[in-house]
Structure 1
Amino acid sequence: MASSTAVSPSTPPSTRRRPARRSGDPDVPTVRLRTAVAAPARPAPARPARGATAVTTVTVLVPAHDEEAGIAATVEGLLAQEVPDELRITGVVVVANNCSDRTAEIARRYPVTVLEMDDNPDKKAGALNHGWRETARDADLVLTMDADTVLRPDTVAAMAAAMRGNAVLGAVCARYWATPGRGLAWRLQRLEYARYDDLRDLRGWRVSVASGAAAMYRNHALEQVAADRDGSPWDGASLIEDYALTLELKSRGWRVAAAKGAHVYTTPPSTFRAVWRQRLRWGRGGMDECLKRGWSPATRQDVLSYVLFGFSVFFRVLFVAMLALMIIYEVPFRYALIGLVPLGVMWLERVTSMWRVPDRGFRDVALVAVVLVEDVYGFFLELCAVVAAVRCLNAHRQAW
């Protein structure tokens, strides 16, 4: 059962207005009102005067599952957004999703809307769908973000500017950095994020997925997806709902990109065990979505990437096997200086990526300089992807 809390402290619970149901809307779970929250009522969009710039409205959805440690920083980052006159944030909505901690209680301390879902089988996708149906269908743009992510003050404005400047964009995502942390797993992921950011730069900010850490959608595009499905833009059966929605948008002719000027800080997994679980879900979810849709304009680039990854793993295993056989049979090694050129190029690429990491330190420089540690981490991620592929091909059940 899902429950929601009121938006306006000045309106008694018995007289609060709910969004009008539209034709074709699916049944919305019964809503049970809890204690009221201190949040401003959503103002009606003002009609621009003749010759004035139209106002673009944004509603923010924050699905949160047991995020009491970080929800305050996330909400404070949203409330501190600096937006131009032609942009208006009409609501910040925290969807407390199957929470067993104080996430909802902490969120209620701020002027935001809090919706509680006590029994949500669809996890994050279900929370996003519920929040969208209840609060966001009248907005021009919808920003979704993880509850462990913090926006820089100009992030919403930068993402909205990208959307306003390109009518074919159905979604944009932010560029993300790792929040301050400690430990080898955190440091390696921080370097990985910087390297991935460089790759998006080389691709002209085109992306395969509008990352769920922070993504802004054109509401008209979400309505299209919802109309062709069960009235919900996000697929509750998908392991990675952000990638599934990205493919749905691409299949309808929308483009997806990263907003160059939008930056966020997101919290990576703190242990290698947690990294393994996360990447296994990402890998399995991506392969499932491609198999589900087959070869199409929306999936072909990703399918080719999986094929190239398979060849890369094959040749890496072949190389290791060759080295092992040479050692076993005492075959003499011969070295050629030209063989060091690829290694030098790889090292230079890693150094330049590391140099763009915010607040880099000596340990970051040492990790890149040694090379070996990052290579072992790369093998770890490749092994995770191989396991995900095997489970996908064997139809092994994968869950959150």
Structure 2
Amino acid sequence: MEQQGAGAVVAPRVGRTPTRDDLVVLVPAHDEQDAIGGTLRALERQTVAPGRVVVVADRCTDATEDVAAAHGAQVLPTVGNAHRKAGALNQALEHLPCDGTRYVLVLDADTRLAPHFVETALALLDADAGLGAVSGIFTGEEPHGYLQRCQANEYVRYRGQILTTRRVAVVTGTASVFRLTALRDVAGARGGALPGVRGDVYDRSAITEDSELTLALKTRGWRLAAPAAARCRTELMPTWGALHRQRVRWYKGMLDNLREYGLTRVTARYVGQQVMIALGTATLAVLLALTAVSAVAGTFALQPFWLAVGGVFVVERVVTVTEADARGRLLAVTVLPELVYAIALQVAFVHALALALTRRDTAWNHVVARPAAG
């Protein structure tokens, strides 16, 4: 039996699990005592076990370090870190052994890996020397309430987009496996071909370190993959305020990264995506305004053409969440609740755009996780 809770102890596994001593896991954590136990248990259940697990404890004031040690992880406290997650990971990467390590798995302290995650990622990296990283494809934890179901549906659609286009937009910080030589290549190019300080793997000034590292890897010519089997689960924001802060940071982080890199062959697609988000936001705002004006003026009427367009939209919303549960599919059918959610995301984008244009910073969004069973 497995005892649940922050200090849970896992019973010995029956049989022998293959171990990859050339893989090191880094788990950056700041006050994650209630979440990190489930993360480490998921690592223990991998079909291929990592040779070393390091919890990078960044200014923790709770029992995060004790829980990590109870699961057999090495605990590495940061020293004088003023650069958030990027700084914590840079310190951990400096302590990696020079010999033997070939791959580094970086995952958040609230991430649950699917059992074949490590095996899948290492098989791809072993087979292709030009592959710099294997990104996880994240889905939401069990959603509770309307807001989290909207987020869960969004993540289902994002997964479908990745698998359909086979393009890795961001090597997610949720969970990704990197080739160590690729990370060292990035570190050596910082301060020259790449933004940042020479020797840093992660740009210490980036507020979205995963999207910045993605641009760095692509700029250096490394290819990226995100296989269907590399699944992981991540937290869902519990409140509208937490969601807004999260998305403002995501949007502004990408805008800042693109400003640093400028328009290049690598960034052109990302710039186009930001332009399309801005146009979509403006279009929806105008449409809602015109609808409101016509309703007040008494001239609003349903037109067959727009009803047909709306029908196609509804079908698209439902088809793209076929992997969601019944409540998620029902949410998609009703349309209006997800439209409200989309407007909330667009408000966050406008906020982020204003911050980026005025070059103001945004606060880091730390959410205290609920205790997880695994």
TM-score (norm 2): 0.86
For the pair 1:341 / 2:308, whether they are aligned, the reply is: yes
Q: Distance in 2 between matches of 1:140 and 1:268?
A: 32
Following superposition, which runs of at least 4 residues in structure 1 exceed 6 angstroms of deviation?
Answer: none
Partner residue, 1:203: 165
Mapped contact 1:59–1:136 kept (Cα < 8 A)? no
Question: How far apart are 1:343 and its partner, in Å?
Answer: 2.1
- Report Cα offsets for 1:12-59 as digits up to 9, x if no partner: xxxxxxxxxxxxxxxxxxxxxxxxxxxxxxxxxxxxxxxxxxx78211
Structure 1's 140 and 161: CA in aligned 2 closer, same or farther, altered over 3 A? same
Partner residue, 1:399: 363
Partner residue, 2:29: 64
For the pair 1:352 / 2:316, whether they are aligned, the reply is: no
SS of equivalent residue, structure 1 residue 153: coil
Q: Distance in 2 between matches of 1:325 and 1:73?
A: 51
Q: Distance in 2 between matches of 1:327 and 1:339?
A: 16
Question: How far apart are 1:123 and its partner, in Å?
Answer: 1.1
Q: Distance in 1 between matches of 2:264 and 2:349?
A: 22
* Bigger Rg over Cα: 1
For the pair 1:173 / 2:163, whether they are aligned, the reply is: no
Partner residue, 1:40: none
Question: How far apart are 1:306 and its partner, in Å?
Answer: 0.8
1:194 to 148, 156, 160: 156
Q: Distance in 1 between matches of 2:213 and 2:302?
A: 51
Structure 2 counterparts to residues 1-400 of structure 1, below 5 A = 57-83=22-48, 89-117=50-78, 119-135=80-96, 137-138=98-99, 139-204=101-166, 206-229=167-190, 230-331=198-299, 333=301, 335-336=303-304, 338-357=305-324, 360-361=325-326, 363-400=327-364
Partner residue, 1:28: none
Question: How far apart are 1:328 and its partner, in Å?
Answer: 4.0
**Larger relative contact order (Cα-Cα within 8 Å, sequence gap ≥ 6):** 2
- Report Cα offsets for 1:315-354 as digits up to 9, x if no partner: 2222223223333444363512x32333222222222333
Structure 1's 213 and 136: CA in aligned 2 closer, same or farther, altered over 3 A? farther
- The alignment of Structure 1 onto Structure 2 pairs a total of residues equal to 337
One-letter amino acid matched to 1:264:
C
Structure 1's 342 and 382: CA in aligned 2 closer, same or farther, altered over 3 A? same
Identity of aligned residues (%): 34
Mapped contact 1:280–1:388 kept (Cα < 8 A)? yes
Question: How far apart are 1:136 and its partner, in Å?
Answer: 5.4
One-letter amino acid matched to 1:168:
G
- Report Cα offsets for 1:223-250 as digits up to 9, x if no partner: 1111122212011111000111111111
- Report Cα offsets for 1:72-113 as digits up to 9, x if no partner: 111111122112xxxx62211111111110000111112221
SS of equivalent residue, structure 2 residue 47: coil
Q: Distance in 2 between matches of 1:316 and 1:126?
A: 39
Q: Distance in 2 between matches of 1:261 and 1:380?
A: 31
Gaps of 5+ in 2: 1-19, 191-197, 365-374
Coordinate RMSD, CA, aligned = 1.8
Mapped contact 1:60–1:93 kept (Cα < 8 A)? yes
Q: Distance in 2 between matches of 1:61 and 1:251?
A: 24
Mapped contact 1:176–1:265 kept (Cα < 8 A)? yes
